């Protein structure tokens, strides 16, 4: 089922993100995580896309496994990074063969070791161009990314919202946001989007913290701010992984509860290929009938 149809029907979606492992030998452990996430009855699971061919084949394989061997819809990521239009057409054909009909269209981050995104010959320079191509190529439901604290390369949130508007006007059906920890940032972003006549559903992305060093690195890379009270709390216990995870789960639950009280279209959890903490959060929020 297409995600645009789910949103029209349900007005809310529960979803999780997983990513292909760096080594194919780790697939079995990822499939075990996916099996546990499927027990939570999500509306869909998203699968990220490796740059420059690094995990592209695994993205298709994992997405197909979720779509065709569980009773769960899948959202496959697709980026512009080192990908020509011909490459993109072949990938879309692979998705079609596997009955994958939902795509998250992203420009993508520069490849490892490079600081800026460079459009390759015959490729795409911006996500809105990729959205237009996918829209014309086949009957897919297309999502795009939103950045509550502004994309790290954008000069301002207003400029970034204009970029989001281009992606939506190009044919995207919904928006999933990058991680954030202050809900006020999300509300401000959502209000600005509405003021720019962006009418598609905007789904907040939630990142449960379970490792201090990891979240510090991720937040730095994507420009997300960790509120001082949250940072100080997890820093004090940063050497005690169980305490970091415990507080991270509690924070994610509180953050999600407040969002649920403020009419969000769904909750999208970045699982980092772990299921235990996601299961606890979903259970506490009473979002699943499967546990």
Cβ pair 40, 291 in contact under 8 A:
yes
Catalytic residue among 17, 98, 149, 245: 17
Among the residues of 119-261, which ranges form H helices?
Answer: 127-137, 157-169, 183-195, 212-222, 228-236, 241-260
Q: What would the two tokens of residue 253 be?
A: 């639950």
Query: Does 17 participate in catalysis according to the annotation?
Result: yes
Going through 55-98 in order, the beta strands assigned E by DSSP cover 73-79
**Buried b / exposed e across 68-92, counting CB within 10 Å, b at 16+?**
eebebbbbbbbbbbbbeeeebeebb
Q: What number of CA atoms fall less than 13 Å from residue 238's CA on the CB side?
A: 10
Q: How many helices (H) and strands (E) does the chain have?
A: 11, 8
The catalytic residue positions are: 17
């Amino acid at each position: 089922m297409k995600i645009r149809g789910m949103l029209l029907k349900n007005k809310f979606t529960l979803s999780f993100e997983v990513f292909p492992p760096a080594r194919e030998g780790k697939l079995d452990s990822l499939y075990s995580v996916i099996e546990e996430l499927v027990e939570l009855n999500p509306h869909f699971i998203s699968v990220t896309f490796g740059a420059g061919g690094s995990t592209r084949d695994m993205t298709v394989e994992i997405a197909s496994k979720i779509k065709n061997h569980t009773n769960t819809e899948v959202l496959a990521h697709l980026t512009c990074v080192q990908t020509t239009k011909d490459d993109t057409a072949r990938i879309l054909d692979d998705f079609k063969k596997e009955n994958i009909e939902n795509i998250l269209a992203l420009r993508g981050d520069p490849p490892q070791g490079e600081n800026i995104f460079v459009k390759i010959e015959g490729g795409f320079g911006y996500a809105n161009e990729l959205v237009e191509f996918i829209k014309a190529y086949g009957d897919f439901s297309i999502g795009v990314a939103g950045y509550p604290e502004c994309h790290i390369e954008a000069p301002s949130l207003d400029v970034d919202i204009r970029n989001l508007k281009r992606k939506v006007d190009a044919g995207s059906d919904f928006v999933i946001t990058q991680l954030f920890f202050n809900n006020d940032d999300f509300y401000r972003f959502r209000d600005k989007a509405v003021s720019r006549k962006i009418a598609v559903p905007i789904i907040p992305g939630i990142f449960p913290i379970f490792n201090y060093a990891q979240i510090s690195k991720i937040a730095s890379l994507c420009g997300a701010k960790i509120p001082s009270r949250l940072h100080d709390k997890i820093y004090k216990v940063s050497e005690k992984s169980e305490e970091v995870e415990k507080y991270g789960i509690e924070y994610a639950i509180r953050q999600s509860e407040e969002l649920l009280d403020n009419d969000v279209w769904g909750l999208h959890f970045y699982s980092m290929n772990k299921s235990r903490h996601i299961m606890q959060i979903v259970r506490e929020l009473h979002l699943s009938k499967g546990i």
